[in-house]
Structure 1
Amino acid sequence: MWQTLRQPRWVARVVWVIGVVTLASALLPSMRDRLHLIDEVVPDAFPAAATTGAAAIGMLLILLAGALRRGKHRAWIVALVSAVLAVGAHVVKGLDVEEALMCLLLAGYLVAVRGEFTAKPDPRSGGRLVRVILLGPVVATVLGFLWLTVDNDGHAAGTTWVDRLVQAALGLVGIAGPMQFTSSADADHAAVGLVVLGAAVLIVALLVALEPAGGPHTADAEETARLRALLDRWGGDDSLGYFATRDDRCVIFSASGKAALTYRVIGTVSLAAGDPVGDPEAWPGAIEAWLAEAKAYGWAPAVLGASEPGGTAFHRAGLDVLELGDEAIVNATTFTLDGRSMRGVRQAVSRCTRGGISVTAHRVADLTATEIDDIRHRADAWRDGEVERGFSMALGRFGQERDPETVVVLARDGEGELVGLLHFVPWGRDGLSLDLMRRDRASENGVIEAMVAGLMASAADLGVRRVSLNFAVFRSVFARGERLGAGPVLRLWRSVLLAASKFWQIESLYRANAKYHPDWEPRYLCYRSSSDLPRVGVAALRAEAFLVAPAWCKKLRRA
């Protein structure tokens, strides 16, 4: 039993409950006979300060529960100090002995489990500080308003809820509001209580602002050079390997330096993508180093899009594995437009040819700067929305000198105007992996099929034998669910995905890939615990830019 109660998640639950009780106790009226005893011992302003202080402590304990669940040492210290302060606050605000004893027991509990809280604080975050500065005063104003509404002794007749709300907002910074009181003592009582709430917001903001600036950083020039050296030798093992060079990823190496793993910290999740890069025998070292860092900071480790060998390595390191979908891989040496099964693609290509559309494939290094600028401009113009999506299977840049081996497939109409493009990154020495797919919406239907067929026709000249196309989420559900004899659960799951496909490109991506009759290679999601899946899912959606903060929030964060 004690071993269970020592676990951070149980400590977090206890702290959350006591935070709720403390907040409720502060907002509910005190017993008048007890309050009378307190008034005879301490100055009039003390109970008010203790009441709002208890409210602030209760809210702080509720917020700390999340960090305690992750084993944060700094959160443990703040929770312990808050519990001790709450003991005094409960006594002074109304001789609430029961709540004071509860907080005293909490302090003892936290001391007893101190060895479970060793995680480092998260690196300083401008976004987190902005949230405290923006939301802190709002929460404090609401708490102040509720306190003034409940503890309304001494308020002048005719006081409205608007008066109380304005009084609560202004009182946080010591400014007198519109409320009238029956005595100066009652006015001081309210003023002191609201100033304590304001001071609590300031203290929390200072704690966030004073967080350490260290922690993981995006790969620097030296680390990128080491990563590219590993890709030169081992890049053919994973079609997603080259995406490890994205500019927004951190990198961690095994002790031997023979393998590396790239990731990005999003919220409380350390999100890797694809397999480790380098010698498979050194993968466990890179994975263990990454997991150790995630544990040190209290982050939930997760991997998006691991291959079967990669998934096996992560599973051996202690992560659970869930099949996420399949990657479509086309063999360029055997690809053909002949045959009944390729009729749809063949017709699309013929239609584009009759329409005067021509397709060419180039190494980006062979293009001029003017051509690269024009392609980049068209790609931005044809993008669906303002945000560039992608993380696990997207490079996030185009036409830079550091990526000379990337390949671009261009479709032009009869007048030479660009109407479509595909961008591929290297997959070892003889493969390509799709990064970008864009076309002019006014162009001939079938441009994408024509570009894929054109790439396959040029594959020999480019030295390409295999091409990785789009990733199809839950591909096996669609493939098996439409077969004769599919079970009721599988058919139900397929129906759910079909409904979701009306909003997201789930089935359409599967159909778009299936027409080329590729080999399907499964990709997996790796995670530590099923309880982490909600935040891992949110982190993945944020990484892939399906969940994006409003523009004003981004501007404020940059400021």
Structure 2
Amino acid sequence: MTSSLPERATDDEQQAEGGWFSFLRRNRRYLSAAGTLFVIALFGFAIFHLTSEVQYDEVVQALADTSWISVAAAVFFTALSFLALTFYDVSALDYVKRKLPYADVALTAASAYAVGNTAGFGALSGGAIRYRSYSRLGIEPENIARIIAFVTLAFGLGLLAVTCLSLLAVGEYVAPMTGMDPLVLRVIAAVILGGLFTVFFLARDGREVSIGRLTLRLPDSRTVSRQFLVTALDLAASATVLYVLLPAGTIGWPAFLAVYSLAVGVGVLSHVPAGLGVFETIIIATLGHNADVDTILGALVLYRVIYHVLPLVIAIAVVIGIELRQLSGHPVASSVRRIGGRMTPLLLATLGIVLAIMLVLSSVTPTPDENLAFLEGLLPLPIVEGAHFLASLLGLALVVVSRGLALRLDGAWWASIVIGIAALLLSLIKAIAVVEAGMLAFFLVGLIVSRRLFVRPASLFGQALTVPWLTALGVICLGALVVLLFVYRDVEYSHELWWQFEFSAEAPRGLRALLGVTIGASMLAIWSLMRPATGAAEPASDDAMERALSIVEAQDMSDANLVRMGDKSLLFSADGRAFIMYGQRARSWIALFDPVGPIDAWPELIWHFIEKARAAGCRAVFYQVSPLGLAYYADAGLRAFRLGELARVDLARFELKGGKWANLRQQVSRAQRDGLEFRVVAPENVPDVMPDLTAVSDAWLAHHNAKEKGFSLGAFDPEYLREQPVAILTCGGRTVAFANILVTATKEEGTVDLMRFSPDAPKGAMDFLFAQVMEYLKAEGYRTFNLGMAPLSGMSTRQIAPVWDRAGRTFFEHGERFYNFKGLRAFKSKFHPQWQPRYLVASGGINPILALMDATFLIGGGLKGVVKK
């Protein structure tokens, strides 16, 4: 009895741990967002405390006192830093052994960093820019993932190495700012550098280094050395941008480089968009004893404008220039034009967020006295008060429509035009904010020039904000609160402030604007998180099936005949020339293959499917898609993950002669000696042999203890089998095997779907059946034979392969107990096919894993079907 009590306690603890783990897993997105907001609030409080002796007017004066020479120097070093940043991508492309024109790489990399540095959160990350751009330039998704991984790892390790080297050189200058002994700082830096050097020495020439269960595949010494120099140049230049804006003599440059690197690193680790508040807190905390805090704050504001906003504006100006030259008929390099058009929506969306922040922050900061005096003599107070309040709400609205701009919605374009014009007028009415109005005018010009890119018909209000966008709203509100408290720290709070309406009463005006933004943001968050799904996938009607079959017959993909199973829903393009067949499992709408129909109908159909899935509260997934449409999926904000390789045989070269076909030829000869005979039954004659097919199918299912599959595989259904020819093997006059043949009228491709064998069929019957089907299709004039996909085949074995590829490769090598991965590829290899990659396309994060699980259950008919063979 006494021993059972601890056991029960242990069980209870395990259940509790499982409950907590399950809770954390289900709510990880919301907990991560809450953590980000908590960090923002924490560092906001720290900044408020560190600037307790600073007045807002002093910061404004410090900004005004900054010399134009310092500003020009900061712009120069910003350009130098971004030049260095482009070589991250150059090195990454060289590492994956791909070459692209430098102009294309430079535009992509500079735009990616302009977006990443400014926005810094999921939907508008530099990775999204790279994915959309490089996919347009023909780079495979797995190589794009390697490029992103290379760039991220190179920056992180380079930042760590530069920081440690700086601490070794100037530890005694940095130590007083951190409260640590110089010797301790140097020892920590030396240990880290020693660890990095050891790892890279062991991994020289691209060898693997294993640390416990973790295996690292690192680049060779030449690549590492070159990339370290690029990172050092980037950090040195970007640090100098801020350094030249600080008061002279604040700190030596080597010591400042260490401080700057530390601030950047902590900002990245905080996962706060653009390190907002985190970076500033560390700079003020370390330099506040060496210079006036107001001048440091002024330098930080200018640094954010020059290093973050200015490159974004320049990137947009470049793509606008490309658009204008195209509209004027000027010959522009085709690749630059292609990627420019794909990046423009994300760049404008990022600028929209910057303008939203500007509108909100300007609503909680005072108007210059001379501007306020001019307005007092020109406009009545209610108009100024209304303009001030409405401008802040327009900033909130601009965040919402910016998401629509990133998705290329036509409704978002129109809404942005209206908001931009209204905000421009209100910025002049509320404070004669010329710079603010100029930025809004630039935004409007960008929208007008790029009108042709925003053509996706969708309801803007049907696009609920996702967690990253809601996090951005929270960051904006918290930032506005910190600025309001800083600006009006000397104003004693009272309830009467809310009802003071005077030209000079700017604190009440800021309070009301912040309250309006906060209430609006809260309502948006509640609506986005609580809104119900608007619909679910519906089965295809008889009329829809007829339309789909007419499209199938007129195109080349034989697998499209799986629509004949009738187990999938259908979505047609607006002109009815193409369709997507899909199924629903849990929260996944899973489209099978690429859209069926002309490729020019794909882009809008793909987007329409994604929109309908999101409106139903589900994720959009595309299963077994080809490389042909990857750029379209990237444009829609989805990412591709390799599933395996499709085997296709060129029937013009298929013949059982010659040395390479010797093994297959022997199998065919043996099958013929065993008495196997092959024939093809036309669709109209299939009912005559249906009893024999049923007997073979029942015996096969019983022998394998299997159940019928679905979705991407055909099931034994007499109605389905009557639709296409059926290949039959007989032995001694008895049917021992069959397979239905899927073909289209174009005769471009043929394949087989449902294959069943009697347990007593002669050995080698499958080889014989496939060889005879290929001979038959070749004689009928078909050009290729589709052998189907080998799952997890072709996963990358290169250095810094994506986690998805490494996991897939591990399953392929060691997962024989679950599925015959190697055996299936070996069987298809007998026919010497051409291998083509196939992908799962979904949004990032954990969505691909959930999507693949849902697709597996959908194919297997649920958990029991997956467990059974």
Alignment TM-score, normalising by the size of structure 2: 0.38
Superposed CA deviations along residues 109-140 of structure 1, whole A, max 9, x for unmatched, are: 964623424754376xxxxxxxxxxxxxxxxx
**Cross-structure match for 2:782:** 464
Which residue pairs with 1:525 in the alignment?
840
> What is the Cα deviation at residue 536 of structure 1?
0.6
2:736 to 404, 419, 428: 419
Describe the shift of the 1:108–1:493 C-alpha distance in structure 2 as closer, same or farther (beyond 3 A).
Answer: closer
How many pairs align?
357
- 1:228 maps onto 2:549 in alignment: yes
Tell me whether 1:270 sits opposite 2:589 in the alignment.
yes
Q: C-alpha separation between the residues in 2 aligned to 1:224 and 1:343?
A: 44
Q: How far apart in 1 are the matches of 2:600 and 2:786?
A: 25
For the 8 Å contact 1:410–1:420, the answer to whether it is kept is yes
1:555 alignment partner in structure 2 = none
Q: Structure 1: how far apart are the matches of 2:648 and 2:538? A: 33
Residue 544 of structure 1 deviates from its aligned partner by: 1.5
Distance 1:398 1:519 in 2: 31
Check conservation: 1:427, 1:433, Cα contact below 8 A.
no
Is residue 283 of structure 1 aligned with residue 602 of structure 2?
A: yes
Say yes or no: does 1:432 pair with 2:753. Answer: no
1:410 to 720, 728, 736: 728
State the shift of 1:407 in Å.
2.4
Structure 1 window deviating more from structure 2 (377-386 vs 395-404): it is 395-404
User: Which residues of structure 2 form unaligned runs of 5+?
Assistant: 1-26, 36-463, 467-518
Deviation at 1:15, TM superposition (A): 10
Cα distance in 1 for residues equivalent to 2:598 and 2:862 = 35
Structure number with larger C-alpha Rg: 2
Residues 1:375 and 1:529: Cα distance change in structure 2 (over 3 Å): same
Cα displacement (A) at 1:512: 0.7
Native 8 Å contact 2:564 2:720 kept in 1: no
Matched, 1:400 2:715: no
CA displacement at 1:323 relative to structure 2: 1.8
Residues 444, 226 of structure 1: CA spacing in aligned structure 2 closer, same or farther, 3 A cutoff?
A: same
Once the two structures are superposed, residues 386-410 of structure 1 have per-residue CA deviations (whole angstroms, 9 ceiling, x without a partner) of: 4212422x23354437953x22221
2:836 counterpart letter in structure 1: E
Cα 1:516–1:256 change in 2 (3 A) is same
Match of 2:537 in 1: 216
The structural deviation recorded for 1:378 is 1.4
2:590 and 2:720 map into 1 onto residues whose CA distance is: 28
CA RMSD of aligned residues (A): 3.5
For residues 263 and 492 of structure 1, the distance between their equivalents in structure 2, rounded to whole angstroms, comes to 27
Q: How many Å separate the matches in 1 of 2:695 and 2:684?
A: 18
Determine the structure 2 residue equivalent to 1:362: 681
Question: What residue is the counterpart of 2:700 in the other structure?
Answer: 382
Contact 2:678 2:727 in 1 (8 A): yes
Alignment of 1:185-196 (within 5 A): none
**Counterpart for residue 30 of structure 1:** none
In the alignment, is residue 536 of structure 1 matched against residue 851 of structure 2?
yes
Shift of 1:12: 7.4
1:98 matched residue in structure 2:
none
- Distance of aligned partners of 1:544 and 1:111 in 2 relative to their CA distance in 1, 3 Å threshold: same
**SS of residue in 1 equivalent to 2:608:** helix
Counterpart contact for 2:621–2:851, Cα < 8 Å: yes
Aligned partner of 2:640: which letter?
Answer: V
Per the alignment, do residues 10 and 458 of structure 1 end up closer, same or farther by CA in structure 2, a change over 3 Å counting?
Answer: closer
**How far off is 1:492 after superposition?**
9.4
Q: Answer yes or no: is the 8 Å Cα contact 2:583–2:711 preserved in 1.
A: no
Query: 1:352: which partner in 2?
Result: 671
Change over 3 Å in CA distance of 1:521–1:119 after alignment to 2: farther
Whether 2:711 is the aligned partner of 1:391: answer yes
Where 1:338 maps in the other structure, the secondary structure is: coil
Is 1:254 aligned to 2:573, yes or no?
yes
Q: Of the two structures, which has the highest relative contact order with CA contacts closer than 8 Å and spacing of 6 or more?
A: 1
Could you say which residue in structure 2 is the equivalent of 1:102?
none
Residue in 1 aligned with 2:525?
Answer: 113
Q: Please give the alpha-carbon distance, in whole angstroms, between the structure 2 residues aligned to 1:340 and 1:354.
A: 21
Whether the aligned pair in 1 keeps the contact of 2:716 and 2:754 (CA below 8 Å) is: no
- Alignment partner of 1:516 out of 823, 831, 840: 831
Whole-Å separation in 1 of the counterparts to 2:807 and 2:775: 41
Corresponding residue number in structure 1 for 2:226: none
Q: CA deviation at 1:496?
A: 4.3
For the pair 1:331 / 2:650, whether they are aligned, the reply is yes
Q: Are 1:470 and 1:509, in contact at CA under 8 Å, matched by a contact in 2? A: no
Aligned with residue 626 of structure 2, among 284, 307, 310: 307
Tell me whether 246-255 or 217-226 shows the greater mean CA deviation. 246-255
2:655 is paired with a residue whose SS is: coil
- 1:317–1:525 distance in 2 versus 1, CA, 3 Å: same
Q: Distance in 1 between matches of 2:722 and 2:604?
A: 28
Matches within 5 A, 1:200-215: 215=536
| Per-residue deviation, 1:242 | 1.7
Q: Which amino acid aligns with 1:297?
A: A
Q: Which residue identity lines up with residue 510 of structure 1 in the other structure?
A: R
Letter in 1 for 2:725: V
Match of 1:446 in 2: 764
Give 1:90-239 correspondences, 5 Å limit. Answer: 111=523, 113-117=525-529, 119-121=531-533, 215-233=536-554, 235-236=555-556, 238-239=557-558
Whole-Å Cα distance in 2 between the matches of residues 317 and 544 of structure 1? 25
CA contact (8 A) 1:71 1:119 kept: no
Matches of 1:71 and 1:325, distance apart in 2: 33
Aligned partners of 1:119 and 1:296 also within 8 Å: no
Instruction: Pick closer, same or farther for the CA change 1:262–1:12 going to 2, 3 Å.
Output: farther
Displacement of 1:550 in angstroms is 8.4
> Distance between the aligned counterparts of 2:657 and 2:573, measured in 1?
48
Partner of 2:846, secondary structure, is helix
Q: Distance in 2 between matches of 1:523 and 1:14?
A: 34
- Paired letter, 1:457: E
Equivalent residues of 2:692, 2:735 under 8 A apart: no
2:794 to 470, 476, 488: 476
Q: Distance in 1 between matches of 2:544 and 2:847?
A: 30
1:295 is aligned to 614
Give the Cα separation in 1 of the matches to 2:782 and 2:616: 42
- C-alpha distance after superposition, 1:236-289 (max 9, x if no partner): 1x3422223432211112222222111111000011110101221111121121
Amino acid at match of 1:524: Y
Q: Distance in 2 between matches of 1:494 and 1:294?
A: 31
Question: 1:510, 1:500 → 2: CA distance?
Answer: 13
TM-score, normalised to structure 1's length?
0.57
Q: What pairs up with 1:35-50 in 2 under 5 angstroms?
A: none
The question of whether the paired residues in 2 share the 8 Å contact of 1:328 and 1:472 is answered with yes
Taking a change above 3 Å as real, the CA distance of residues 333 and 241 of structure 1, as seen in their structure-2 partners, is same
The C-alpha deviation readout for 1:502-546, integer Å capped at 9, x for no partner, is 320211110010000012122111001222123212101101207
CA distance in 2, matches of 1:390, 1:505: 19
Inter-CA distance 381–441: structure 2 relative to 1 (3 Å threshold): closer
- 2:691 counterpart (353, 373, 397): 373
Which residue identity lines up with residue 736 of structure 2 in the other structure? Answer: V
Q: Deviations over 1:78-137 (max 9, x none)?
A: xxxxxxxxxxxxxxxxxxxxxxxxxxxxx99964623424754376xxxxxxxxxxxxxx
Between Structure 1 and Structure 2, the one with more helix by share is 2
Q: Is the 8 A contact 1:376 1:398 kept in 2?
A: no
Segments of structure 1 that go 5 or more residues without pairing to the other structure are 1-7, 17-69, 73-106, 124-214, 552-559
User: How much does 1:427 deviate?
Assistant: 4.0
- Tell me the alpha carbon deviations over residues 279-314 of structure 1, each in whole angstroms, 9 at most, x when there is no partner: 211111211211111111120111110111133322
Partners of 1:492 and 1:263 in 2: CA distance:
27
Q: Structure 2: how far apart are the matches of 1:469 and 1:363?
A: 21
CA distance in 2, matches of 1:399, 1:330: 29
Q: Distance in 2 between matches of 1:388 and 1:264?
A: 16
SS of the residue corresponding to residue 240 of structure 1 reads helix
Q: Letter of the 1:472 partner, please give it.
A: A
Q: Which amino acid aligns with 1:355?
A: D
**Distance (whole Å) between structure 2 residues aligned to residue 546 and residue 498 of structure 1:** 26
Higher strand share: 1
Secondary structure of 2:653's match? Answer: coil
Counting aligned pairs with the same residue, the percent is 22
SS of the residue corresponding to residue 277 of structure 1 reads: coil
Letter of the 1:114 partner, please give it. Answer: I
Shift of 1:422: 1.9
